[in-house]
Amino acid sequence: MTTKTELKEESFEDIAARIDKALENVNKLEDADAKMHALGLKTAIEDFNKFGLVKIVQKLKADERGKELLFELLEEQSVRSLFTVHGIIKQDIGSKILQVLDFVKPYMQSHGGDVEFVKFEEGTAFVRLLGSCNGCSQSAVTLREGVEEALVENIPEVTNVEVVPNEPSPGLIQIESLDKSKSKGWIETLSTEELPEGKMKCFQTDEANILLININNNLSAYRNECPHQGLPLDTGMFDSDENLITCAGHGFKFDATSGECITAPQAQLEVFPLRVEDGKILVRPN
């Protein structure tokens, strides 16, 4: 009686762990020549793979349906990681922060707390602490310090971590929200006549740098900052036919209707609340 041995399909995490283990073993080699040849083989294989991957991406991007397939593929963690490792897409700072927070969340949740990423600005990561983390007890302080340590040690761009206040319960009515255009935090920007259909314009104050966009007479407001390296988006290009914003710095593309980053999934422009009163565009920066 013969039996068939079925090959068990490895998960993405298992394969990544095998690669890490193999590289760890290579780095432990005491023979300098053997170590050099092993690392040389690793580099050659990576260069070979990157060459083929770049050709695949170029072909997909040259066809409209191919572009759609490419964006769908980038939603897969394994494909996104492969492209990131080979430098085909660059991981934006927001994605790096979310990745680190994913590691600390299970520990925080086991203590009745949680953490949310709010924004990154000039070396500072702003986070919101939830549950038991949102308090002054010693355990809450320990959890907050754990978040700061994880971000600062793992992401060179992060030099400081600030905790922002929790948002009020949806069931509560804030007094300031009843004060119409004089409500705290609202900024009067351009008039609707100053922002024609199919155009984007920057409005800057001491408090915020705002990017205003008019798409088919639907207005949107974003922080005028590319999440990749913080460059202003108004110096880039706005394609009103495709509703795409392209950053002048490294060519990152964003959906102007939603703020979603097409180049690097999970990156997102920061959206500001907007309303129009008496022909004036009012924006409330976060």
The Cα 113–Cα 24 span in angstroms is: 35
Give the C-alpha distances (Å, rounded to integers) separating 44 from 25, 26, 50. Answer: 18, 15, 10
CATH number 3.90.550.10 given to 93-163? no
pTM for the complete prediction? 0.40
Neighbour-count burial of 115, counting CB atoms closer than 10 A to its CB (0-12 exposed, 13-18 middle, 19+ buried): buried
Structural domain boundaries of the chain? Answer: 16-85, 93-163, 183-283
Q: Confidence class of residue 199 from pLDDT cuts 50, 70 and 90?
A: very high
Is it true that 93-163 and 183-283 share their CATH fold? no
Q: What's the pLDDT at 211?
A: 95
Q: Would you state the pLDDT for residue 245?
A: 93
Direct distance between the N- and C-terminal alpha carbons of the chain, in angstroms, rounded to an integer: 70
Taking residues 144-157, report their average pLDDT.
84
Q: Which two tokens stand for residue 43?
A: 């580099």
CA distance 237 to 200: 9
pLDDT, tens digit, 9 for 90 and up, residues 51-61: 888 888 888 87
Neighbours of 228 (CB within 10 A): 21
Fold classification of 183-283 (topology level): Rieske Iron-sulfur Protein (2.102.10)
Nearest to residue 225, comparing CAs of 277, 273, 269, 189? 269
Percent of the chain with pLDDT over 90: 13
pLDDT value, residue 141: 64
Distances (CA, A) of 33 to 27, 38, 41, 44: 12, 9, 12, 16
Q: What is the pLDDT of residues 233-266, one digit of tens each?
A: 999 999 988 889 999 888 888 888 888 888 876 6
